[in-house]
Amino acid sequence: MTSPSFAHQLVDVGLLLLLGAWASLLLLLEWRRRPQTPMRVPRLYAQLRVAIDRAIETGRSIHLALGSRSLPDAADEATVAMALVHATLQERDHDATPNLVSCGDGTLYALAAGAAPTSAAHAIMLGVEQAGYAVGAWRALAGQRLAGQMLAGPTGAEGLLLAEGRIDAAPDGLAGAARMDDAGVLMLGSSAWVVGEDYYAASAHSSDPSHTGGLALQDIVRLLLVLVMLAGLALRLLGWWGI
């Protein structure tokens, strides 16, 4: 014969399942009734798209600055920078005016030269020190009218110098930083920037729309984690799990 406590537990489980089904149905109906909200795009990537379109229309170049840190010291940031380089080069593969990819380190130069076809970009290595790299960039950009400038690599103090030298050459100064100590410097001379997690999402925001599936997957994983925690809490309250 079924004990009263077990019967009460069955009733609790049934009520919990009914409540969950009712809440799921309400959420589904609400989701179908509301218009689909577009994915949030940071201002930097929206302006980068504008700069790419401007470059194609006017035949001007985009300056992509990869910084002066070595690849072993900032491999993750350099990988994100190269994703941005690929995104801009794909748009201008058949354009007559190549983009300018500058760096201040030999390892970054090897990476940029290998990823930048001569028809779409021109990779140059400037001074190996921060000040020397910034001054070299000023000289390389002297007299040029750019469609935009993106500080995309592991830049430090030289980023502020590059941003200040950009004012007369490019209408947009964009910057991305993974480290907070670099972000404060880059924000001073940039019209748009991203920091931290948004910086690492560069390949999804700036590449083919299919790449945004990775961002959607992150949201789905977060939702699943919340549901698992709620299920665990319900089992714990019912006394079916835990001590």
pLDDT in tens, 156-180: 777 777 777 655 555 677 877 777 7
Residue 1 is predicted with a pLDDT of 47
- DSSP of 128-139, one letter per residue? SSHHHHHHHHHH
pLDDT digits (tens, 9 = 90+) for 205-239: 655 555 555 566 666 777 788 888 887 777 777 77
Residue 140 in this model has a pLDDT that exceeds 60? yes
The CA distances from residue 105 to 28, 47, 76, 138, in Å, are: 53, 27, 15, 17
pLDDT digits (tens, 9 = 90+) for 72-122: 777 777 777 777 777 776 666 555 566 788 888 887 787 777 765 555 567
- The winner for highest mean pLDDT among 126-140, 152-166, 171-185, 193-207 is 126-140
Using the structure block, give the residue that is written with the tokens 């714990």: 236
Cβ atoms of 55 and 95 within 8 Å: the answer is yes
Rounded to two decimals, the pTM is 0.63
Cβ atoms of 134 and 140 within 8 Å: the answer is no
Please classify residue 147 by burial: count the beta carbons closer than 10 Å to its beta carbon, then call 0-12 exposed, 13-18 middle and 19+ buried. Answer: buried
